[in-house]
Chain A
Amino acid sequence: DAGVIQSPRHEVTEMGQEVTLRCKPISGHNSLFWYRQTMMRGLELLIYFNNNVPIDDSGMPEDRFSAKMPNASFSTLKIQPSEPRDSAVYFCASSKGQGAYEQYFGPGTRLTVT
């Protein structure tokens, strides 16, 4: 069974540009999580969905960030406009449900904003 798939794996863009990160969760998983990892702040939860509905977006840093999950097999995280401080590795993870289920992580997207 394929794991969590993320694209692109690397993204380099200029400040002010729009960036879209994509995620395909594991089939049958109904919870999806977006994380950001930096050296300074570690692993931060940005937003999570359950059954395609955003449950908690309190970790989204500001209005420049938005996330959607139009169906059970696809989610996007968009940054518009991007800034150098958004440079990080962005992970998507999925799980079967609440709490007791382990999360499976994708390989991440390394974003560099110049």
Chain B
Amino acid sequence: AQSVTQPDIHITVSEGASLELRCNYSYGATPYLFWYVQSPGQGLQLLLKYFSGDTLVQGIKGFEAEFKRSQSSFNLRKPSVHWSDAAEYFCAVGGVPGTYKYIFGTGTRLKVLA
């Protein structure tokens, strides 16, 4: 069955430090992959997406993610974190055959220290 795993529930980084959020998926074909961010009291906002082609994708707010088929991973990165990046981040897989469903990970809550 398809699944998405975000192994880190909470991550704390200092402002200006680099960030990597992990996402692993289980899927029988080439997945459509997404990262969303949710600020407190807000809906989910799309950061970036991977459908095909270049495995390194750029998103909004200075984020990027790399698709690694061999590792079934789609990790989110940012070279220098800002205090405003504190939020919850969700990885998702779409394109489940025969449905319109996304499969969301359980989220990683990011805390940024000043």
Chain B CB within 8 A of A65 CB: no
Q: Mark A65-103, 1 if CB is under 8 A from B, else 0.
A: 000000000000000000000000001010101111111
Chain A CB within 8 A of B63 CB: no
Residues of A within 8 A of B43 (CB): 4, 91, 105-108
By secondary structure, the A interface counts as strand
Residues of B within 8 A of A55 (CB): 99-100
Query: For residue B97, which residue of chain A has the nearest CB?
Result: A99
> Interface residues, chain A, CB within 8 Å of chain B?
4, 31, 33, 42-43, 45, 48, 50, 55-56, 91, 93, 95, 97-108
> Interface residues, chain B, CB within 8 Å of chain A?
32, 34, 36, 42-46, 49, 51, 90, 94-96, 99-102, 104, 106-107
